[in-house]
Chains A and B, each alone.
Chain A
Amino acid sequence: MSNTIGLILLIVGISFDLVGTLGLVRLPDIYNRLQAATKCVTLGTCMILLGVVFYTGFNSSGVKALLCIWFILISSPTGAHAIARGAHRSGIRLWEQSKMDKYADDREGEAIKQE
């Protein structure tokens, strides 16, 4: 029974990974690629690790997999936020069909306020 739940979680997680990396290849812009790839691959890898917990049971590898889930859930959005901030500050432009850029407006407002 727990083997079946583990296999289903593994299949769903690897599907999320495939969709995320497909977005990394196909989307037009650094920011679009970032949001597609980071969210899908974080959720997919956490589901793979949860599948390992269900498949092997609550022994040493299962506890290590739970620890790894906790760490990935904290570190991956932090890294994505840092990359997006660094890319915007280093002057990478948005896709030409993007509608709005709120972060650039905020930074212009801060610059005017400091003057």
Chain B
Amino acid sequence: MNVFIGLLILCIVMCLYRVGKGPTAPDRTVAIDILGTLVVGMCAIFTIITGKDFYMNIGISWALLSFIGTIALAKYLEGKGFDE
């Protein structure tokens, strides 16, 4: 299981590379969206390691917040207000 956590941390480091280097704003937005999905998978593996189920609660709420943040950033990129 520790190998799986290490591989997911490798994925997260590649996402953070794209967040830092990405030439335009949508590149950074895509990388942040993918980062949220990867953290949900990491919470799932922590559920297996520790045997406690509240990590899945963290995963569900993280997926919700990541989705809302992605939609808000996409609306901001489009140049509209948030209520249109």
Instruction: List residues of chain A with CB under 8 Å of any chain B CB.
Output: 10, 13-14, 17-18, 20-22, 24-25, 30, 33-34, 37-38, 41-42, 44-45, 48-49, 51-52, 55-56, 59-61, 64-65, 67-68, 71-72, 75-76, 78-80, 82-83, 85-87, 89-90, 92
**Complex A-B: 20 CB contacts under 8 Å:** A10-B45, A18-B11, A24-B30, A37-B31, A37-B34, A38-B33, A38-B34, A49-B40, A64-B53, A65-B59, A68-B63, A72-B37, A82-B70, A82-B71, A83-B26, A83-B33, A86-B29, A87-B26, A87-B77, A92-B26
Docked CA distance A34–B8 (Å)? 19
Q: Which residue of A lies closest to B27 (CB)?
A: A30
Q: Determine chain A's interface SS by DSSP, over half rule.
A: helix
Inter-chain contact B74/A79, CB cutoff 8 Å:
yes
Instruction: List residues of chain B with CB under 8 Å of any chain A CB.
Output: 4, 7-8, 10-11, 14-15, 17-18, 24-27, 29-31, 33-34, 37-38, 40-41, 44-45, 47-48, 53, 55-57, 59-60, 63-64, 66-67, 70-71, 73-79
Q: Which chain A positions have C-beta within 8 A of B74?
A: 79, 82-83, 85-86
Q: Determine chain B's interface SS by DSSP, over half rule.
A: helix
Q: Which chain B positions have C-beta within 8 A of A38?
A: 30, 33-34
Q: Which chain B positions have C-beta within 8 A of A20?
A: 11, 34
Inter-chain contact A52/B44, CB cutoff 8 Å:
yes
Inter-chain contact B48/A56, CB cutoff 8 Å:
yes
Docked CA distance A72–B57 (Å)? 14
Docked CA distance A18–B44 (Å)? 17
Inter-chain contact A10/B30, CB cutoff 8 Å:
no
A83-B4 CB under 8 A given contacts A24-B18, A68-B59: no
